[in-house]
Amino acid sequence: MIRISKVSKTFQINGEPRTALDNISLEIRAGEVFGIIGRSGAGKSTLVRTLNLLERPSSGQIIVGGQDITALDSAGLQRLRRRVGMVFQHFNLLQAKTVAENIRFPLKLGGELSAAQMDARVEELLQLVGLAEQRHQHPAQLSGGQKQRVGIARALANQPDVLLCDEATSALDPETTQSILRLLLDINRRLQLTIVLITHEMDVIRAVCDRVAILERGQLIETGEVADVFLFPQHAVTRALLAESHQAGATDLQSLRAELGASTHGPLLRLSFLDEAATQPLLSQLSLELHLQLNVLQGTIGRIKGRPFGQLVVELLHTEQDPTLLAKLQQALRQRDIRFELLDEPLEAAA
């Protein structure tokens, strides 16, 4: 659906070049919710703005729906922006117009629908975003969440194939954020719409995204399925972002050892459970089957886009009495397709 190939973007700031994007390549599949995350200044917003050419890349190619958008003329660019809707952090609503008029505005600019067709489309969108009762209100009369719903409806007015969301929940409180995320998921499922979501919040990625890319200083440092990136982060920056937001996959071994002191001396393992495995009494089963004891030191449970997961840091006891216990446990974990990491050793995974 979207292919970004070797895209770079350089700005001139006070006469000096500054690289915002450095040779980015990735693919976004049709119909998925794709998250892009990173710290402030990582290049997230610059990257998403290249997807509708609000920012033109300095080099590289961007293919949307089989078309190289970097080669478009002005007429082609107008058509592109009807196919690629955008939702902004600060709403950007027309204050003098009502909710219905704000949603109608891009339809009037397009000039392709009759008045009756525009009325029908506005009504459809008001129902979709839950603002039918607010149709005659002005932005000043709305809450932050309602304003963002207007922004989403307006972005959907021309029936785009792609919806870009640039920090769409960053200005909202946690409860309102969850309601907007539920709305975006509903839109994705109903309309089979591709959504590209920019955020600095790991909780947002975990709640709604299928896959995620992590940016740092303009570079793509990690990408993959959200469950894999959250549970098995490969890059130090990803692990730091997870730790900052108290997410799974972020165990700091040195800090954990320091906190526990001399009370732990056996091997430490991080076990990760996903889907059905997260709901089973696997530790009890392993302890009984292998005649071993596991001391749970740290744990996280939750959901990744509705999928249950669990992650535990455990100490294997009494290995000094039976040195074969660790090998037996590792073999049993592999047989059950349970991913694990021996924290003092390189990553081990289920075969």
Question: Which amino acid would we find at residue 141?
Answer: Q
Q: pLDDT for 234-266, tens place per residue? A: 999 998 888 887 666 555 666 666 666 656 678
pLDDT of residue 350: 42
187 lies in the same domain as 314: no
DSSP tag of 172: S
Report helix, strand or coil for 124: helix
Lowest mean pLDDT, pick from 69-78, 282-291, 335-344: 335-344
Among candidate residues 190, 211, 245, the one where a domain is terminated: 245
pLDDT exceeding 70 applies to what percent of the chain? 92
Domain of 312: which CATH number?
3.30.70.260
pLDDT of residue 35: 98
Question: Which amino acid would we find at residue 17?
Answer: P
Q: Is residue 348 part of a domain?
A: no
**Residues 6 or more apart in contact with residue 184 via CB below 8 angstroms:** 33, 152, 163, 165, 168, 195, 197, 208
Closest CA to 197 of 170, 226, 166, 176: 166
101 lies in the same domain as 213: yes
pLDDT of residue 254: 64
pLDDT of residue 346: 36
Q: Average pLDDT of the chain?
A: 90
pLDDT of residue 351: 36
Phi, psi of 169, deg, nearest 5: -115, 0
Q: Is residue 129 part of a domain?
A: yes
197 lies in the same domain as 323: no
292 lies in the same domain as 315: yes
277 lies in the same domain as 145: no
* pTM (two decimals): 0.87
- pLDDT class for 45, splitting at 50, 70, 90? very high
pLDDT of residue 321: 82
113 lies in the same domain as 177: yes
Q: pLDDT for 95-143, tens place per residue? A: 999 999 999 999 999 888 999 999 999 999 999 999 999 999 999 999 9
- pLDDT class for 165, splitting at 50, 70, 90? very high
Q: Is residue 350 part of a domain?
A: no
Q: Is residue 136 part of a domain?
A: yes
What total number of domains does the chain contain? 2
Phi-psi region of 161 (alpha: psi -120 to 50; beta: other; left: phi over 0): alpha
172 lies in the same domain as 281: no
95 lies in the same domain as 230: yes
User: Cα angle at 313 between 221 and 178, to 5 degrees?
Assistant: 60
Please count the other Cβ atoms lying within 10 Å of the Cβ belonging to residue 265: 12
Q: Is residue 349 part of a domain?
A: no
Closest CA to 109 of 176, 169, 158: 158
Q: Evaluate if residue 289 carries a pLDDT over 60.
A: yes
Among candidate residues 216, 245, 274, the one where a domain is terminated: 245
**CA atoms of 255 and 233, how far apart (whole Å):** 18
pLDDT of residue 247: 66
Domain containing residue 325? 253-342
